[in-house]
Chain A
Amino acid sequence: MDKGIFDAILIPMKVPAGDSYVYVLIKDKSLIKDVLPFPPIMSVQGAKAVSSITRLGKGNIKIAAVMRPCEIRATIELAKLEQTNLENITLVSMDCPGVIPFSDFIKDPEKAMELFDNAIKQEDDKIMRPVCQICDKSSMIAGDLHIGTLGAKKDTFFIISNSKKGNDVLDKLDITSKDSIDSWKAKVKEKTEKKQIKRKKTHKDLKTQMGGLDNFLDTFSKCINCHNCMSVCPICYCRLCYFDSDKVKYSPKEYLQRAENKGSIRFLPDTSLFQIGRMIHMSLSCVSCGSCEDACPMSIPVAQIFSMIADETQGLFDYIAGRSLYEPIPLKTYKEDELHEVEDAHD
């Protein structure tokens, strides 16, 4: 801001009560002393914060948004879905240690902060969100600049540019040194490989646990239809969800008919259909941030389930949500030659 590169910074700050951290758009430099770039929780997914100020246009001021890698990836997905305009936004990420589930944090914010600091020092992630514990993209550079702390000497860090915007910032800051980031890369690779193994195992266990229709229904049996998972999801941007629309509202006669077919129906019916629908609608862009699971009042492991589905659907198209702004969303891309195995299955 001093150099006039940015007019404002979007960054988390503690709320007055001290029991949360929220995104704040800061123009007044004196406020910067109160920010905490990597807070112990993710209250609102950063992509939602960026979208809330750029959905209707790019504006006239240059903004640096400091967020976690999964928040940046979601922001990029939203840009592809035309829900954000990144022209005047520079995305800055850092190596992410994960976040603590909100419900654990609010029980005792001070204690949680202490635990969080210790967890980072000891590189121990067991207090973090379950999806953070299996995140293999915690250092993925998808934005413009990345601050690497892994593999750096004590009290130093790497600033890694990933775009022309990023290069411009470094130029204006007169940062020209070209130190090798090999030590960062090596450390990231080591961490990623470890997490990938854990991720595969968790997903495999989950699949065993909830495979088949009965287990699937049981998994969502406690769902209360609040749709919190959808409201906090950075990808679910529809103003009116299909599952809240008139399409899913039936006449008493139809409800009774459905009940008569089976002897009884759960009311509302289609609770699990909502979950399946959401999986189909957004899993190609799911960044496994874990916001859905944090917001679920019934503690259903939504994020773990969705991360499992997302890996499968994205894998099918060799796509990683938010990896690159220039990689088109598979469902919007037509290729004459693809998915023959599906066609063949119907021959």
Chain B
Amino acid sequence: MTKALKMNKNTQQCILDFLKFLLEKDKVKGVFTLKRINKNKDVAYSLITNPDEISTAVPFYPLMPVNAGKLLSRFTLKGSTKKPVVAVVKPCELRGFIELIKREQGSLENLFIISSTCSGVYPLKMAIDGVIEKNLPEYWDMVKKGEISPDLRSACRTCEEFIPYTADITVDLLGKNDVDKQCIMFLNTEKAEELAKDMNGEILDKELDNKKLDKIRDKRQNEKKKFFDEIEKKLNGMDGLIEIFGRCIGCHGCSKVCPICYCKLCIFESPDSEYRPSNYESDLRIKGGLKVPPGTLYYQLGRLTHIGISCVACGQCEDACPVDIPLSIIFKKVGESIQKIFDYVPGKNIEEEIPLVTFKQEEFVEIEK
């Protein structure tokens, strides 16, 4: 059994109260969360230090403007925070952050993580004309029922990893039908229990309703099968790859927003990938015609190889793609197939090493043969 803090109020309000409490009681010096940033009610990740500003925070807003794992990495890139900070993030964002920490791109020290069972987010496009804002009642209805809206990101509709692995606090949201009357926060770590000390509410011994969550997972699995079957047909062989990626404009936006792609200089933007006259002249002798700039498919295959093992399937790449390539499903499918070989779930366990940097004398003998 896990300790849980129960409060009899709307869950979203309870979290705001809790965040404010943490700042006011000096338990943390900063709160990292989604927040409304202007009179148009636009939502962006923010670092809040003034308790009065918590009222404009929207921790569970169904939008991922940037994968927060990338942002927490930026926050702690130059060293861990000496002052305690609490961050409210989605499970896949937390997993992205953990993968980055394994790559020495951030630190969890003095960071407290609040996450929740996650219903998913809407595509970024829907934030443009305020569509998400209008959809909020429908979204929360869906959260309560544990249903999948066809409007959500395809990555979210097909996500089975909606329970955070390493959060200090897990907020019960998905499929909780009284989410607007009651709030349950699971205190997973000692740190969490300490933070919640003196907060108004009742401490219980409780577990997540796994039966209910398993049913939701089944639904998502069915959805995933549909998406995977469809993409498998299209991704067939070289011709399939060219069909799918042929319209890529080489902006590399997918890599810029990817929580795993942390290289300061991507090899595909380096001098190694530049075309020398001797290269294209010899290519022209063989082929008669060449796409320029070259390497569209090579870039995508390269990125699949480089990040597949750690892809947390957040769907940010697809949202940033100006030409609507179904990247999230492609990367999820390829990522899972690589991860399965090594029995690895990216971001699940900070102690578990990345398979590609781990040497085992006895493995893949079947390939050697």
Contact = CB atoms under 8 A, between A and B. Distances in A.
B292 A20 contact: no
Contact of A56 (B81, B269, B274): B274
B293 A297 contact: no
A47 to B, nearest CB: 11
Interface string B292-320: 11100000000000000000000000011
A202 interface: no
A52 B271 CA distance: 11
Contacts of B292: 10, 23-25, 49, 52-53
Contacts of B242: 15-17
Interface in A47-78: 48-49, 52-61
A224 B30 contact: no
B289 A240 contact: no
B288 to A, nearest CB: 3
B256 A26 contact: no
Contact of A224 (B66, B78, B293): B66
Interface stretch (B137-145, B277-285, B360-368): B277-285
Interface in A1-35: 8, 10, 13, 15-17, 19-20, 22-28, 30-31
B76 interface: yes
A217 B38 CA distance: 9
Nearest to A214: B38
Contacts of A226: 253, 256-257, 320
Determine which residue in A17, A28, A267, A296 has the highest number of CB atoms from chain B within 10 A of its CB, and name it: A267
A267 B257 contact: no
A44 to B, nearest CB: 5
B74 A249 contact: yes
Nearest to B242: A16
Interface in B221-256: 239, 242-244, 246-247, 249-253, 256
A221 B44 contact: yes
Interface stretch (B120-128, B195-203, B208-216, B333-341): B120-128
A102 B323 contact: yes
A10 B289 CA distance: 9
Interface stretch (A255-263, A308-316, A335-343): A255-263
A25 B284 contact: yes
A70 B78 CA distance: 42
A244 B266 CA distance: 12
A256 B246 contact: no
A142 to B, nearest CB: 21
Interface of A: 8, 10, 13, 15-17, 19-20, 22-28, 30-31, 43-44, 48-49, 52-61, 102-103, 106, 214, 217-218, 221-222, 224-228, 231-232, 239-240, 244, 249-253, 255-256, 259-260, 263-268, 294-299
13 contacts: A17-B243, A28-B289, A221-B37, A222-B42, A222-B127, A222-B128, A226-B257, A232-B249, A240-B265, A252-B81, A256-B49, A266-B45, A297-B253
The 4 closest A-B pairs by CB, nearest first: A28-B288, A59-B277, A263-B50, A252-B81
